[in-house]
Structure 1
Amino acid sequence: MQTENTLAAPRVSWRANLTAKHWRTLNGAFMGWIFDGYEALALIVILPSLMQSVLTPEQMGSRPIYSGLVIGITLLGWGIGGLIGGTMADYVGRKRMMMWSVFLYAVLTGFTALVHDVWQLSALRFVTGLAMGSEWSTGIALVAETWPKEARSKGAGFLQSGFGWGTLIAAVIWYFLGEFNPFGADNWRVMFLVGALPAFFVLYLRRGVDESEKWIEAVRNKRWGATEGSTAPAGEAGKRPFTLTQIFREREAARRIALTTALSIVTIVGWWAVSSWLPVYTGALAAAGHVENPQRWISSVNITYTIGAIVAYMASGFIIDAVGRRWFLFFTFAGSLLTTVMAYAWVGTVQQMQIVAPINGFFTLGCAFAWLAIYPAELFTASVRSTSVSFVFNSARLIAWFFPILSGTLIKSFGGVAQAALIFGSVYVLGMVLPWFLPETKDQDLPE
């Protein structure tokens, strides 16, 4: 009878063990990631107007290449800064590193509004990326280590949705700037000035967010192993190994790093070298169809694409807990491949793009980035978690940063965005295969 009653007992809600402290921690990381999302899409949507302002007449003939350069140099700075900041967060703490990251990239984004040529722009994009890179990995580690097991993936999905809300804010602001045109050719400068506002958010982080107890305990007890059951090398039990080398020194940790980094490259190359060109391609469709107010269609596609991504972010924690991490990754990249083909090979009008864009956004921006917020943190211990998550996310940028530049060259060589996007979109096939070589972490505790 007792067994029957136990089996019949209702399952505890994933929200049952959440407290106000959990939600404050999520809110702090969520708000920081909103600003990152805003910054990322703001650059994409203003790129045509921005290039018109900063390029000389001689440079305009190679505009796709310069556009790719600006995106690529941002990714390079983002990758280097994220790798450094994520590693530092395992030494100085998640909260402190997050505060410095938010403050510095906000100030540098504001200064970007003052640039007058493509070289000033590229330099500021690089240093802004350096500052911005570490915010994500510190927030992911903080939420993963503070939220209970049954709610952890949901919290990470909600956190990742901050990027989508940030991109939506950028798309909406740019839409209204285009509609009312208050500053004409200088509308793009307003977008960067708005990006300076997160500097004030540091005040909330300082007072409302606590440090991770799991990280404090791991450092206090000198638990330096990178994966479950592992320990520091013999003779170094009392001395902390450098976290960036520790994740490669252990065979299992190195294997997990290699596979998840490859999947991260698939995600980042897919977005920056394929989906980031959707606004440009929509503009080309509008011109070919001789539609009125093409900028309105471009902004509308940006908004619906982002809405699709936000839906995916909010749902990702529930989906990944239902089907498991590996099946989630498989379906994510299969959907990304299919919707890339739909967007660049099937769509022929802006009206059709309006339908496909949110579906494409659900996979290529939503699910494709949500797994990075959930899965890598479950594969490594607290003493190296921020370093590991940061390496997986940011080393991919260090490898992929030149793809936007290369895609610009391909666009010019092949005579169109669609051909280049379809070539790069084939990278999603790799993402469908690699997950099956990683461990399944569904319903498991974080490795200590």
Structure 2
Amino acid sequence: MEHGHLAVSTRTRWYDGLTPMHWRVLRASFLGWIFDGYEALALVVVLRPMLHSVLSPEQAASPTIYAGLVIGITLLGWGVGGLVGGILADYVGRKRMMLWSVFLYAVFSGLTAFSSTFWTLCALRFLTGLAMGSEWSTGIALLSETWPEQARAKGAGFLQSGFGWGTLTAVLVWYALSSTQPLGAETWRLMFVLGAIPALFVLYIRRGVNESEKWQRAVREKRWSATNAEPAAGATADSGKRPFTLAQLFTEREALRRTLILLALSVVTTVGWWAISSWLPSYTVAIAKAQGLPDALSWGSKVSITYTVGAIVAYMLAGFIIDAIGRRAFLSLSFVGSLVTTVITYKLVNNVEAMMLVAPINGFFTLGCAYVWMAIYPCELFNSSVRSTAISVVFNAARLIAWVFPIIAGSMIKSFGGVSQAALALGSVYLLGIVLPWFLPETRGEGMPD
């Protein structure tokens, strides 16, 4: 197996050696992730008018319950779809799974526009999440297995930034639609129609993307072990029998150790981000009202935009930083920054002017750095025959926990005694993230394992 320390390159530019095929892989995966980001935020920005259209009079008496349900069900579908799609990509290929993911996502997103009842809406949101869940893991696996070592982390960071650009696109599109109201109270439906149209374009782009040769070679040569540390459980050199990839992560000892640590870090990221970002707009609006500012509600949108801009900056820079200081140091420092900025945001800031300065720094750490590592580091810890399964488990398993948060948000805030207290309490999970990375192997400067 090829897995060793690479000689220091004499190239001075990180993008030397990248071919048109490399850029097509990035462009295709990047656009797919933009549409996923758009889809994720579209649901949030149209939530109020959408529920007004689909809730019955009896249901409309408890709007917060149904708002939490539809968001939670979408996250659940996203998590399940990501796990299933990631596993399938290790059996049928990265490219094929991406094509199906984008196609089905486009179909179900478009059908969401025709929802007439709340439960129809929930069913379509679950199916949309199910379809788009595997978009990320298959795109990341394909890019990591095709890009050269000196550029791979940078490319993964650029790919990850697509989600931030997608959320910004959703904000801008909804601003334009809500200002003009072409369909009156039903204008929200256009958000999902528009979300489906560009996703279909990715199908054309991906016709020019090749399948991962690294994955094909691993399957052809029957390299079934999850890591290079030990042979695959349940497989022998004579039979070449392929174990179930998901089971391998929990039966091979070194794979299990890595998987559990990465899962814990993913939970840290997801719980911390959910507590910080989902409550930040309403917390900012409350500060604006306390200051007696006119149009206090607008500050919620403003702070969301600056928060996302901070994350995009982190995505674009992360590949360069992580290659300079190493994977473990980057992770640990990311959670240090997340913890510090969370304390500043929810304990020290008491006016919207200060919040607008702090929010992008918070977003840089809690959404940017705290997520981008999942696009770079786990790929380097698992072999090609289980790589898509491993990174989809790391990325999506936390969502199977996080999907309940929107449903119980109100109770949590009440239990902790307010938004700031709840955010600080949940943000303390970053302490765990500061320590755990040091129990994983450092992979900077090493080639991708086969």
Question: What is the TM-score normalised by the length of structure 2?
Answer: 0.92
Q: Which residue of 1 aligns with 2:3?
A: none
Looking at structure 2, the residues matched to 85 and 64 of structure 1 have their Cα atoms a distance apart, in angstroms, of: 31
Counterparts of 1:164 and 1:258, CA distance in 2: 28
Shift of 1:181: 4.2
Deviations 1:73-108 (A, max 9, x none): 111111111111100000100000001111111221
Return the alpha-carbon distance in structure 2 between the equivalents of residues 240 and 38 of structure 1: 38
Paired with 1:180 and 1:306, the residues of 2 have a C-alpha distance of 25
Match of 1:388 in 2: 390
Quote the offset at 1:43 in angstroms: 2.1
- Does the CA contact (< 8 Å) of 1:28 and 1:208 recur in 2? no
Q: Tell me if the contact between 2:306 and 2:359 (Cα under 8 Å) persists in the aligned partners.
A: yes
Which one is further off, 245-254 or 44-53?
Answer: 44-53
1:337 paired residue number: 339
Shift of 1:281: 2.6
Which ranges of structure 2 fall in alignment gaps of 5 or more residues?
A: 1-6
Residue 203 (1) aligns with residue 209 (2): no
Instruction: Work out the CA distance in 2 between the residues paired with 1:150 and 1:246.
Output: 29
* Deviation of 1:407 (Å): 2.2
d(CA) in 1 for partners of 2:190 and 2:233? 53
The letter of the residue matching 1:21 is M
Letter in 2 for 1:66: Y
Q: Tell whether the 8 Å contact from 2:103 to 2:203 is kept in structure 1 after alignment.
A: no
Which residue of the partner structure matches residue 154 of structure 2? Answer: 154
Equivalent position to 1:366, from 360, 363, 368: 368
Q: Which amino acid aligns with 1:139?
A: G
The residue that corresponds to 1:111 in the other structure is 111
> 2:397 aligns to what SS in structure 1?
helix
Counterpart CA distance in 2 for 1:345 and 1:51 is: 33
Aligned pairs for 1:349-360 within 5 A: 349-360=351-362
Question: Bigger shift: 426-435 or 248-257?
Answer: 426-435
Asked if 2 retains the 8 angstrom alpha-carbon contact of 1:68 and 1:404, the reply is yes
SS in 1 for 2:398: helix
CA distance in 2, matches of 1:77, 1:357: 29
Corresponding residue to 2:262 among 260, 263, 267? 260
SS of the counterpart of 2:423? helix
Kept in 2: contact 1:67–1:408 (CA 8 A):
no
The residue number in structure 2 matching 1:220 is 220
Contact 1:50 1:188 in 2 (8 A): yes
**What amino acid is aligned across from residue 197 of structure 1 in structure 2?**
I
Following superposition, the deviation at residue 120 of structure 1 comes to 2.8
Residue 251 of structure 2 is matched in structure 1 by: 249
Indicate the percent of aligned positions where both proteins have the same amino acid. 65
Superposed displacement of residue 285, structure 1: 3.1
Q: How does 1:96-245 map to 2 (within 5 A)?
A: 96-233=96-233, 236-237=236-237, 238-245=240-247
Q: Structure 1 residue aligned with 2:326, among 324, 327, 330?
A: 324
Q: Hey, what does 1:3 align to over in structure 2?
A: none
Q: 1:60 to 1:338 in 2, by over 3 A?
A: farther
Q: Output the CA distance in 2 between the equivalents of 1:278 and 1:105.
A: 29
Between the aligned partners of 1:108 and 1:369, the Cα distance in structure 2 is 26
Distance 1:66 1:277, change over 3 A: farther
Q: Give the corresponding residue for 1:433.
A: 435
Superposed CA offset, 1:243-294 (max 9, x none): 1111222100111000001111111122233312222333333343343334
Q: 2:298, 2:182 → 1: CA distance?
A: 16
CA distance in 1, matches of 2:176, 2:280: 19
Q: Which amino acid aligns with 2:222?
A: K
Aligned match for 2:310, one of 302, 308, 311: 308
Report Cα offsets for 1:343-367 as digits up to 9, x if no partner: 2233333333222221111111111
Amino acid of the residue matched to residue 105 of structure 1? Y
Per-residue CA shift, 1:299-346, capped at 9, x if unaligned? 222221111111000000001111111111111112112222222233
Paired residues, number: 442
SS at match of 2:444: coil
Say yes or no: does 1:286 pair with 2:279: no
Residue 419 (structure 1) aligns with: 421
More divergent stretch after superposition (40-49 vs 305-314): 40-49
Q: What is the CA–CA distance in structure 1 between the aligned matches of 2:306 and 2:29, rounded to whole Å?
A: 25
Q: Which residue of 2 aligns with 1:66?
A: 66
Moved more, 270-279 or 381-390: 270-279
Deviation at 1:205, TM superposition (A): 3.8
1:274 is paired with a residue whose SS is: helix
Q: Distance between the aligned counterparts of 1:260 and 1:284, measured in 2?
A: 36
Q: Deviations over 1:195-220 (max 9, x none)?
A: 11244224324422110000010011
Q: Secondary structure at the match of 2:278?
A: helix
Q: Which amino acid aligns with 2:75?
A: L
The residue aligned with 2:4 is none
CA contact (8 A) 2:266 2:394 kept: yes
Higher mean C-alpha deviation, range 306-315 or range 240-249: 240-249
For 1:411 and 1:48, locate their aligned partners in 2 and report how far apart those are by CA, in whole Å.
21
Flag the 1:103–1:9 CA change in 2: closer, same or farther, 3 A: closer
Greater shift, 67-76 or 171-180, is seen at: 171-180
Counterpart amino acid of 1:286? A
